Chains A and B, each alone.
Chain A
Amino acid sequence: MSVLHIVEVTKTFPGGTNAVDSFSLDVADGELVCLLGPSGSGKSTLLRMVGGFEQPTGGRITIDGEDVTHLPPERRPTGMVFQSHALWTHMNVFKNLAFGLKLRHMPANLIKEKVEAVLELVGLAGYGDRMTTQLSGGQQQRVALARSLVLEPKILLLDEPFASLDQHLRERLREEVRDIQQRLKITTLFVTHGQDEALSMADRIVVMANGKTEQIDRPDVVYRNPQTPFVAGFIGTMNLIEGEVQGGHFVRADFTVPLPIADGPATLAIRPESLDLAASDKPGASVHRVTDYGTHGLVDLDLADGTRLKSMVAHPDLFRAGQGIELLPRAVAAYRNNQQIYRSSP
């Protein structure tokens, strides 16, 4: 039973960079939470503060109620897996895994037992005698994971552990890590800037931008109901259209759609799969390009002022470049002042 509380944590680096800005998050026991955000949004800094490698300039971090904010890494019940795996190249795999146990004065036969068990768990049984440099990238990352797991940390921290691996391997390791995490029911904080990684692994996703939380939700909710225009644009493909609301209609160039909100500027968000098209002589949009992916098609459209939109269609062969098109959005959301102010029922 391990819960992590991050309370209004702030990190301002000596140079003045505000890497993390009053960030709060509660991670429940056994939960896997993904920190997702663009480069430089403060994900690593936040994770490193939980691990004890950076000192917060404000706020509190507690694990199972114990305040760890000012404890050094060696006295925290956390285990960190680094992007660069950071295995100790002068030790073999066994010694890498045994090092932490030896520091805890565990008897040798017990160490051997534990190391063998964890090697089995990550699918590397019998690799104890290998030097870490004689392993493939994926195997190295598995050893790094095992090195943390063997100490049974209360909180597991992973900072883009698969970023340096190729796509195929990344997907396989992602599943393995998720399996292991669920089997051990270990509370986990996972940093990534791959949204498919976050969407496929996480119990909840934290979308970060500029050191702040944009949204914390289940993956499907983050996708279906983004709370800010940033999240809307960051997760998946989204048509984001800046325009004006006048008398209950959103207007951009020749494109209008009913939108029951007060007059003023607004950002309209439509997923490509929620934007239906109909051939039309009415002014609205024109087809720029049609791409046929076999299972579906993608139509690039231009509004009269050149704004580019995308629509996903079942029958791309019905459309031709240059053709006039009427836009029929099925589901829209609208944002004003960085907040969602309208969402059509799905």
Chain B
Amino acid sequence: MTTLALVRPRTDWLGIVFAALLTIAIVGPLLVVGTWAFTEVWRYPNVIPQQFGFRFWGQTLGRPDVWNALMLSLQLTTVVTLLSAAICLPAAYAFARMSFPGRNILFFSFLAGHAFPKFGLLVAIAAIFLQLDLIGTFWGVVLIQLVGTLMFMIWIPVAAFQAVDRRMEEAARDVGASPLRVFWSITLPQAGPTIAAAVLLSFVGTFYETEGAWLIGAPGIRTMPVLMISYINNQMVIQFGAVLSVVLWVPSFIALMFARRVIGGGAFARGFGG
């Protein structure tokens, strides 16, 4: 993030080198994939492709399985994010503001799923889902992806709610607001930017999630990223996968733009008590 850059009067060579390395590491592969997406002929040992064109775009986007996968992915991600928000935000508020027996154990159990190697956990869950006939179904994938969002959707909002000044809430009670009204008019707007960040993260994270979607969803449910991987693995034509991955940049690009507008600089830091 740009906010991490330090403002210094003198030239920060170490910083520049670091930024350059980061740029190469991140932008480099993107550049190669991006180039492939618009390439019709590119043979060794040329550094740049012999022929550019949109032929593979037409071919890729003309495939009905691509559109089905895109629609499915958007549906899945929306359902998962909404469900996750509905479950996690009230829970996060409870964790942040109330004390009840078993609070700490419950809190850590929400996060514990991320403390173990994920794939082993997924296989265990898949075994259970098999018995419940959830394998290869929409709701099976929803469930597994929901588990994946818990970390972001509990942890970050808990920090956000805790960072809200109690005195602000009391001042609102003082001028006549009911507890519910205080939550709606004071607590939520104060925690809002950070919570928006959490929702965004879980939306993007869910959209790109492949392990769970593949393990639980196959063969009936094929999301966009799963489709892309199968193209890259099974098809001799590199361009199909490249075009799809360029298409997949779109949501994260939109998310980034949205994040910059809605969240603004210090929100994350504030959410973590900074």
Is the beta-carbon distance between B176 and A103 smaller than 8 angstroms?
Answer: yes
Interface hits, A73-121 → B, CB 8 Å: 73-74, 78-80, 82, 84, 86-90, 99-100, 103-104
Is the beta-carbon distance between B177 and A53 smaller than 8 angstroms?
Answer: no
Interface hits, A105-153 → B, CB 8 Å: 144, 147-148, 151
Is the beta-carbon distance between B175 and A99 smaller than 8 angstroms?
Answer: yes
- Of the four ranges (under 10, 10 to 19, 20 to 34, 35 or more), the interface on chain A belongs to 20 to 34
Q: Does A219 contact B (CB under 8 A)?
A: no
State A53–B171 Cα separation when bound (angstroms).
10
Q: Does B178 contact A (CB under 8 A)?
A: yes
Is the beta-carbon distance between A88 and B175 smaller than 8 angstroms?
Answer: no
Is the beta-carbon distance between B170 and A53 smaller than 8 angstroms?
Answer: yes
Interface string of A248-289 (1 = CB under 8 A from B): 000000000000000000000000000000000000000000
Within the complex, which residue of A53, A74, A84 is in contact with B178, where a contact is CB–CB below 8 Å?
A74
Which residues of chain A come closer than 8 Å to B181, judged between CB atoms?
103
Chain B's closest residue to A159 (CB) is B167
Given contacts A86-B165, A90-B190, A99-B185, contact A104 B176 (CB under 8 A): yes
Interface hits, B23-73 → A, CB 8 Å: none
User: How far apart are A82's CB and chain B's nearest CB, in angstroms?
Assistant: 5
Is the beta-carbon distance between B186 and A73 smaller than 8 angstroms?
Answer: no
Which residues of chain A come closer than 8 Å to B190, judged between CB atoms?
88-90
* Tally of contacts, chain A with chain B, CB under 8 A: 62
Q: Does B168 contact A (CB under 8 A)?
A: yes
Which residues of chain A come closer than 8 Å to B186, judged between CB atoms?
88
Q: Does A324 contact B (CB under 8 A)?
A: no
User: How far apart are B120's CB and chain A's nearest CB, in angstroms?
Assistant: 43
Q: Does B189 contact A (CB under 8 A)?
A: yes
Q: Does A72 contact B (CB under 8 A)?
A: yes
Given contacts A82-B167, A88-B168, contact A72 B175 (CB under 8 A): no
Is the beta-carbon distance between B174 and A51 smaller than 8 angstroms?
Answer: yes
Chain A's closest residue to B186 (CB) is A88
Chain B's closest residue to A90 (CB) is B189
Is the beta-carbon distance between A151 and B176 smaller than 8 angstroms?
Answer: yes
Q: Does B118 contact A (CB under 8 A)?
A: no
Within the complex, which residue of B174, B177, B192 is in contact with A79, where a contact is CB–CB below 8 Å?
B174
Is the beta-carbon distance between A147 and B175 smaller than 8 angstroms?
Answer: yes
State A51–B173 Cα separation when bound (angstroms).
10
Interface hits, B136-184 → A, CB 8 Å: 165, 167-168, 170-178, 181
Which residues of chain A come closer than 8 Å to B171, judged between CB atoms?
80, 82, 86-88, 144, 147
- Of the four ranges (under 10, 10 to 19, 20 to 34, 35 or more), the interface on chain B belongs to 10 to 19
Q: Taking chain B's interface residues, is the majority helix, strand, or loop, or is none over half, making it mixed? A: helix
Which residues of chain B come closer than 8 Å to A104, judged between CB atoms?
176
Is the beta-carbon distance between A74 and B176 smaller than 8 angstroms?
Answer: yes
Within the complex, which residue of A52, A53, A89, A151 is in contact with B175, where a contact is CB–CB below 8 Å?
A151
Which residues of chain A come closer than 8 Å to B174, judged between CB atoms?
51-52, 73-74, 78-80, 148
State A317–B43 Cα separation when bound (angstroms).
103
State A305–B165 Cα separation when bound (angstroms).
53
User: How far apart are B178's CB and chain A's nearest CB, in angstroms?
Assistant: 6
Is the beta-carbon distance between A73 and B167 smaller than 8 angstroms?
Answer: no
State A90–B185 Cα separation when bound (angstroms).
10
Is the beta-carbon distance between A103 and B165 smaller than 8 angstroms?
Answer: no
Is the beta-carbon distance between A84 and B165 smaller than 8 angstroms?
Answer: yes
Which residues of chain B come closer than 8 Å to A80, judged between CB atoms?
170-171, 174
Chain A's closest residue to B169 (CB) is A86
Interface string of B89-103 (1 = CB under 8 A from A): 000000000000000
Given contacts A84-B167, A86-B165, contact A72 B173 (CB under 8 A): yes
State A84–B170 Cα separation when bound (angstroms).
12
State A89–B181 Cα separation when bound (angstroms).
17
Which residues of chain B come closer than 8 Å to A72, judged between CB atoms?
173
Which residues of chain B come closer than 8 Å to A79, judged between CB atoms?
174-175
Which residues of chain B come closer than 8 Å to A87, judged between CB atoms?
168, 171
Interface string of A45-76 (1 = CB under 8 A from B): 00000011100000000000000000011100
Which residues of chain A come closer than 8 Å to B165, judged between CB atoms?
84, 86
State A89–B185 Cα separation when bound (angstroms).
12
Chain A's closest residue to B190 (CB) is A90
Is the beta-carbon distance between B170 and A100 smaller than 8 angstroms?
Answer: no
User: How far apart are B6's CB and chain A's nearest CB, in angstroms?
Assistant: 23
State A103–B170 Cα separation when bound (angstroms).
15
Given contacts A99-B172, A99-B185, contact A74 B167 (CB under 8 A): no
Which residues of chain A come closer than 8 Å to B185, judged between CB atoms?
99
State A139–B170 Cα separation when bound (angstroms).
20
Is the beta-carbon distance between B170 and A73 smaller than 8 angstroms?
Answer: yes
Chain B's closest residue to A91 (CB) is B189
Is the beta-carbon distance between A103 and B177 smaller than 8 angstroms?
Answer: yes
Pairs of residues from A and B, 6 with the lowest C-beta to C-beta distance, nearest first: A100-B175, A86-B167, A73-B173, A86-B171, A90-B189, A103-B176
- Can you spell out 8 A-B residue pairs with CB atoms less than 8 angstroms apart? A53-B170, A74-B174, A74-B176, A86-B165, A86-B170, A88-B186, A89-B190, A151-B176
Beyond A74-B175, A82-B167: 10 further Cβ-contacts under 8 Å?
Answer: A52-B173, A73-B174, A79-B174, A82-B170, A87-B171, A88-B168, A88-B171, A88-B186, A103-B176, A103-B177
